[in-house]
Amino acid sequence: MRGALLVALAAGLAASITLAETTLVVLALWLVFGPRPAGTLRIRWPLLAPFAAFALWTLVAALASGRPRESLLSSRGLLTLGAFYVVLHVLGDGHVARRFANGLFIAVAVVALVSIVQVSFCAAEGTVESSGALVRLVFRKCARARGFFSIYMTLAGVLTLVLVSALPRLARGGRALAWALPAWLASVLALGFTSVRGAWLGFAVGGIGCTLALRRRWLVLAALMLVVVGAVAVEPRTLKRLRSVGDFNDDTTRDRLAMLEAGLRVAAAHPITGIGPGQIKRLYPTLASPEALRRSTSHLHDTPLQIVAERGIPGLAAWIAIWVAFFGAAGRVLGRIPSEDDEARGLVLGSMAAIAAFLVAGLFEYNFGDTEVLLVALTLMSFPFVIERDLDA
């Protein structure tokens, strides 16, 4: 049963939030009420303190907001953090974790191929009207690759995490490279088709950081650069989007700067508890400066800024503590792995690099509030602790 549920979870993380969340609920129930074979591993709760601190202060900020009931409802996303512990305890050991990581990689690569078809055959007006359910699913709003998600930013976030986490396993080579490398390259191309610059930057930082920690770092780094150059050459719009980074005449840049200014004003005015979860959407029309092109938004396209605006400085400190604790714990696990165990090292290093990419991309998009992307990040975060359990056994 566990194997089938893990397959469903991998498919859900790659393509369907409904499938992913349903599978996680079933897995949680299976962990609680399922059979307890001899030798069952002891339940562990890594990162519990920072997770709990962040959750607690989120509730405090919600109760202190102008609309506490509304903010409490917006805080229900805290339940998503429980996915970390579900995945951690379902993945029994490093072998199961590696198989699951490969399954997730394959599922995402399939979605990437669909995304490439999606953009390549998209109509000039950016959508295809059809009575067919499958055609509507794939080709509705197809100007930018989005896979089966509602928006291209979600696909970009998922692709970034999975691509970066897979790099150490690809660098090891072996027979799997014959199929894994083409799948990885197709996924990079799909990432280019999303035209999400923040995700590209996260991919670059995570990929380069991961590569520098590998043994054949310069060879892998050169190959990575060739891949990026090739993706840009294949899709001319990618180069145009890259040139617009930092261009203050670009409408998107100007709008993000207006959001930054509004968010900083909110943080300065409400430094302790912020304005409450979910309140940016309600208050932004009154906060937006005259230079803002968008007069309404549900978030500020910057994760730390969103956190501090909604939860205040203590909330931001608790959120940062999650990542400090994760990298500290994962780094200690990496240091304990025998040098000859490349598979375990690749799993932990890929996890750390993917979360670094997630955090960098979050400076340009509120990906912590994108449930689909956050679920993938939490899943990858569990890998170092699965390996730690093996080392302690």
Q: Distance (Å, rounded) from C-alpha 195 to C-alpha 184? A: 18
Separation CA 377–CA 351 (nearest Å): 9
Residue 13 Cα distances to 17, 18, 161, 223, 270, angstroms: 7, 9, 11, 28, 36
Q: Considering the domain boundaries, does residue 24 fall inside one?
A: yes
Structure token digits, residue 325: 């604790």
**Quick one: pLDDT at residue 140?**
84
DSSP-H helix ranges across the chain = 2-15, 17-33, 48-64, 68-74, 83-90, 94-120, 133-139, 152-171, 177-194, 197-212, 217-234, 236-243, 251-269, 279-287, 303-336, 342-361, 371-381, 383-392
Spatial separation of the C-alpha atoms in residues 109 and 162, rounded to whole Å: 9
How far CA 267 is from CA of 180, 197, 271, 314, 370, in Å, comes to 45, 26, 5, 11, 22
157 vs 372: CA distance, rounded Å = 9
In a domain, 248, yes or no: yes
pLDDT in 10s for each residue of the chain, 393 residues? 889 999 999 999 999 999 999 999 999 999 988 876 555 556 789 999 999 999 999 999 999 999 999 999 999 999 999 999 999 999 989 999 999 999 999 999 999 999 999 999 998 878 877 767 778 788 888 889 999 999 999 999 999 999 999 999 888 777 777 888 889 989 998 998 998 989 999 998 998 888 888 777 776 777 677 766 766 666 666 666 665 566 666 777 888 888 999 999 999 999 999 999 999 999 998 888 887 878 788 899 999 999 999 999 999 999 999 999 999 999 999 999 998 899 999 999 999 999 999 999 999 999 999 999 999 999 999 999 999 999 987
Give the number of domains in the chain.
1
User: Within 13 Å and on the Cβ side, how many CA atoms surround 320?
Assistant: 11
Domain for residue 40, yes or no? no
> Per the domain annotation, does 204 fall within a domain?
yes
Task: Indicate the SS3 state at residue 81.
Answer: helix
Helices and strands counted in the chain (H then E): 18, 0
What residue type is 386 in one-letter code? V
- Model-level pTM greater than 0.85? yes
Helix %, strand %, coil % for the chain, to 5?
Answer: 75, 0, 25
- Tell me how far CA of residue 77 lies from CA of 59, 69, 144, 154, in angstroms: 11, 14, 27, 16
CA geometry: angle 176, 200, 91, nearest 5 deg: 45
d(CA 47, CA 39): 24
Q: Which of 266, 334, 247, 335 is nearest to 306 (CA)?
A: 266
In a domain, 43, yes or no: no
Integer Cα distance of 299 and 35 in angstroms: 43
For residues 160 and 108, give the distance between their C-alpha atoms in angstroms, rounded to a whole number. 10
Spatial CA neighbour of 199 closest among 159, 251, 258, 234: 159
- What does the alpha-carbon distance between residue 268 and residue 65 come to, in Å, rounded to a whole number? 16
Whether 256 maps to a domain, the answer reads: yes
The predicted structure's pLDDT at residue 256: 87
Run of H or E including 49: helix 48-64
Give me the residue label for tokens 């060879």: 219
Contact 372, 20 (CB under 8 A): yes
The answer to whether 102 touches 350, Cβ cutoff 8 Å, is: no
Residues spanned by the domain of 171 = 2-34+50-392
Is 67 domain-assigned?
yes
Q: Buried (b) or exposed (e) across 246-261, using 16+ Cβ within 10 A? A: eeeeeebeebbebbee
pLDDT of residue 294: 81
* 105 vs 92: CA distance, rounded Å: 19
Tokens of 354: 């993917």
- Specify if 281 maps to a domain: yes
CA dihedral (166, 380, 36, 82) in degrees, to 10, reads -160
User: What is the C-alpha to C-alpha distance for residues 147 and 256, in angstroms, rounded to an integer?
Assistant: 25
